[in-house]
C-alpha cells in the first residue's frame, strides 16, 4: 500500500471540490475524445474531426487535468496559499466550454464558431496562468518542479493566443497576407502546446512524484542528466518552436535534438527510479513504466526524424506515430498520476483526521484493483494497436478497433475513480461538480480554509 506522503503540506491545499471538479470534467472530455476518434476512424464524422479528437484529448483532458493538479499541488509543494480560489473555479468552466465547443465546431465543419469558443478557452487558460503564476511568484527559491511549472505557464500563456489567431483565420483570413504563413504558426503552436505546456508539466511533476512514490532519490548520473534536461529541454522547445515559426531548419534541428536528448535522458532517470524502488508495485508505477518505455522509443524516433527534416509535416509530433507520444507518454503518466492523486485528495478530506483514532483505509484501498487491471490492459492494448496500425498502415478497421479498446479502458478508468469520489468523498458527485464560484463547501473544507496559512481570496 502507498504510504501517506509526509512532505506535502495539506493545510495549503484548496477545498476538495476544486481539483476534483477539474479531474471529473477532464474524464468527461477524455471519453468524448475517445468516442470522436473511433467515429472518425470509421468515417462517421465530417469536417476536421482529427482536430476535434486532438483538442478534446490534449487541450481538454490533459490540460484540464494539469490545471486541477497545479491548483492542488502548487500550494502544497510551494507552501504558499493559492492566489484566488474563485479564479480556480472560473478557469475550469471557461476552458471546458471553450474546448467542447471548438471540438463540436471542428467535428461538424462549422469553422465559423471555432474562434468564438476559442475565445472562452483563451480567457480560461489566461485566468489559470495568472492565478498559478501569482502563487508561484510568492515562492522562493524555486526547486526543479517549480522551474518546470514556470516555463510551462509561459507556454500556456502563448499557446491559446496562437490558437485563437488560427481560429480567427478560418472566418477572417488574414494570415495569407502576413509575413508568417499559416502552416508555420501551426507548427509553433503545436510545439509550444505539446512539448512546452504539456510535457514540461509532466517532467516537472515526475521529478517529485516518481521519487516520492518509489521512495528513491536522484543520485550519481541522475543529477547530471537533470542539470542537462533543466537547461536543454526549455531551450530546445523554444528553438524548435522559433525555427518552425521562422522556417529555419537549422534552428529547428538544434532545438529538436535538444528536446529528444533531454527526454531520452529523463526516460533513463525515470527507469532508474522504478528499478531501484522497494515499494509495492501500484497502478501508478505500472503506468509510469509504460510511459518510460514509450518516452525512450519516441525520443529515438523523434531525434532521427528531426535530424533529417525538423520542418516536415510528418515530423510535427516527432518521429513515429503520434499515439506513441500522446497515449504512450502523456496518457499513461496522467492515468497513473490520477490513480494516486484522486484517492489521495479524497483520503485527506475524509480519513486523515481519523488516523490514529480508528482503523482507516490506505489510499490504494479506495479504488478497485480489478478495474484498475482491466483498464490498464484495455488502454495498453488499444494504444499498442493504434501505434501498430499507423506503423504498418493497417486498414481503418484496425484503427477503429484499437480506439474502441482504448475507449473502453478509459471508461473503466473513469468509473473506478468516480466510484472513489462517490463512495468515499464527503460530498456527492453533484456537490463536487456544482457549487457557487469559490465556495468552500463542506465542513471539512471549511476547517481546511481556517487552517493556519490559508489566505482569503485576493482580487485578480
Q: How far is CA 392 from CA 9, 215, 302, 389, 395, in A?
A: 49, 40, 18, 5, 9
Peptide bond preceding 433 in cis form (omega within 30 of 0): no
With respect to residue 369, please indicate whether it lies within any of the assigned structural domains: yes
Enter the C-alpha cell of residue 82.
493559492
With respect to residue 280, please indicate whether it lies within any of the assigned structural domains: no
Q: For the chain, how big is the Rg over CA atoms in Å? A: 21
With respect to residue 325, please indicate whether it lies within any of the assigned structural domains: yes
Q: Which of 265, 264, 406, 268 is nearest to 326 (CA)?
A: 406
Backbone φ, ψ for residue 368 (5° rounding):
-90, 120
Return the DSSP state at 180.
S
d(CA 159, CA 437) in angstroms, rounded, equals 26
With respect to residue 76, please indicate whether it lies within any of the assigned structural domains: no
d(CA 45, CA 12) in angstroms, rounded, equals 45
With respect to residue 164, please indicate whether it lies within any of the assigned structural domains: no
Enter the C-alpha cell of residue 365.
484501498
Q: Is 123 helix (H, G, I), strand (E, B) or coil?
A: helix
With respect to residue 315, please indicate whether it lies within any of the assigned structural domains: no
d(CA 294, CA 195) in angstroms, rounded, equals 15
Backbone φ, ψ for residue 248 (5° rounding):
-100, 105
What range does the domain containing 349 cover?
321-436
With respect to residue 398, please indicate whether it lies within any of the assigned structural domains: yes
Q: Is 355 helix (H, G, I), strand (E, B) or coil?
A: strand
| Domains in the chain, number | 1
Digit-by-digit pLDDT tens for the chain (460 residues) are 344 444 444 445 556 788 899 999 999 999 999 999 999 888 888 778 999 999 999 999 999 999 999 998 888 887 888 888 889 989 999 999 999 999 999 999 899 899 999 999 999 999 999 999 999 998 878 999 999 999 999 999 999 999 999 999 988 888 888 888 899 999 999 999 999 999 999 999 999 999 988 999 999 999 999 999 999 999 999 999 999 999 999 999 999 999 999 999 999 999 999 999 988 899 999 999 999 999 999 999 999 999 999 999 999 998 888 999 999 999 999 999 999 889 988 888 888 888 878 888 888 889 999 999 999 999 999 999 999 999 998 998 999 999 999 999 999 999 999 999 988 877 777 777 776 544 543 333 333 333 333 333 333 3
With respect to residue 166, please indicate whether it lies within any of the assigned structural domains: no
Amino acid at each position: 500500500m502507498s504510504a501517506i506522503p509526509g512532505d506535502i503540506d495539506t493545510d495549503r491545499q484548496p477545498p476538495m471540490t476544486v481539483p476534483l471538479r477539474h479531474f471529473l470534467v477532464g474524464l468527461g472530455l477524455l471519453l468524448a475524445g475517445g468516442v470522436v476518434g473511433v467515429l472518425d476512424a470509421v468515417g462517421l464524422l465530417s469536417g476536421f474531426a482529427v482536430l476535434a479528437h486532438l483538442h478534446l484529448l490534449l487541450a481538454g483532458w490533459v490540460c484540464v487535468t494539469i490545471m486541477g493538479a497545479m491548483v492542488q499541488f502548487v500550494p502544497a509543494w510551494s507552501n504558499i496559499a493559492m492566489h484566488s480560489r474563485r479564479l480556480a473555479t472560473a478557469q475550469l468552466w471557461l476552458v471546458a466550454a471553450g474546448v467542447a465547443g471548438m471540438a463540436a465546431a471542428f467535428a461538424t465543419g462549422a469553422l465559423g464558431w471555432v474562434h468564438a469558443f476559442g475565445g472562452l478557452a483563451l480567457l480560461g487558460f489566461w485566468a489559470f496562468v495568472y492565478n498559478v503564476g501569482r502563487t508561484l511568484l510568492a515562492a522562493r527559491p524555486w526547486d526543479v518542479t517549480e522551474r518546470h511549472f514556470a516555463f510551462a505557464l509561459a507556454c500556456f500563456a502563448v499557446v491559446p493566443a496562437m490558437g485563437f489567431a488560427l481560429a480567427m483565420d478560418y472566418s477572417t483570413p488574414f494570415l495569407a497576407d502576413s509575413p508568417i504563413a499559416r502552416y508555420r504558426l501551426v507548427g509553433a503552436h503545436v510545439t509550444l502546446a505539446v512539448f512546452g505546456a504539456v510535457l514540461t508539466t509532466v517532467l516537472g511533476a515526475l521529478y517529485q512524484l516518481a521519487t516520492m512514490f518509489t521512495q528513491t532519490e536522484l543520485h550519481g548520473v541522475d543529477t547530471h542528466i537533470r542539470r542537462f534536461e533543466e537547461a536543454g529541454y526549455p531551450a530546445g522547445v523554444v528553438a524548435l518552436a522559433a525555427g518552425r515559426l521562422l522556417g529555419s531548419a537549422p534552428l529547428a534541428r538544434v532545438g529538436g535534438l535538444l528536446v529528444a536528448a533531454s527526454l531520452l535522458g529523463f526516460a533513463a532517470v525515470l527507469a532508474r527510479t522504478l528499478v531501484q524502488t522497494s515499494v509495492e508495485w501500484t497502478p501508478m508505477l505500472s503506468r509510469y513504466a509504460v510511459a518510460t518505455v514509450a518516452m525512450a522509443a519516441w525520443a529515438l524516433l523523434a531525434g532521427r526524424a528531426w535530424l533529417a527534416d525538423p520542418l516536415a509535416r510528418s515530423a510535427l509530433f516527432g518521429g513515429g506515430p503520434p499515439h506513441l507520444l500522446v497515449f504512450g507518454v502523456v496518457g499513461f503518466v496522467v492515468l497513473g498520476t490520477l490513480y494516486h492523486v484522486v484517492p489521495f485528495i479524497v483520503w485527506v478530506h475524509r480519513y486523515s483526521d481519523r488516523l490514529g483514532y480508528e482503523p482507516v483505509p490506505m489510499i490504494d484501498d479506495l479504488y478497485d484493483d480489478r478495474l484498475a487491471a482491466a483498464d490498464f490492459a484495455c488502454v495498453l492494448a488499444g494504444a499498442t494497436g493504434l501505434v501498430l496500425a499507423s506503423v504498418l498502415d493497417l486498414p481503418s478497421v484496425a484503427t477503429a478497433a484499437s480506439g474502441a479498446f482504448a475507449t473502453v479502458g478509459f471508461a473503466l478508468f473513469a468509473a473506478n475513480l468516480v466510484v472513489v469520489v462517490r463512495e468515499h468523498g464527503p460530498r456527492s458527485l453533484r456537490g463536487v461538480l456544482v457549487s457557487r464560484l469559490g465556495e468552500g463547501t463542506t465542513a471539512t473544507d471549511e476547517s481546511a480554509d481556517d487552517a493556519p496559512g490559508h489566505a482569503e481570496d485576493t482580487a485578480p
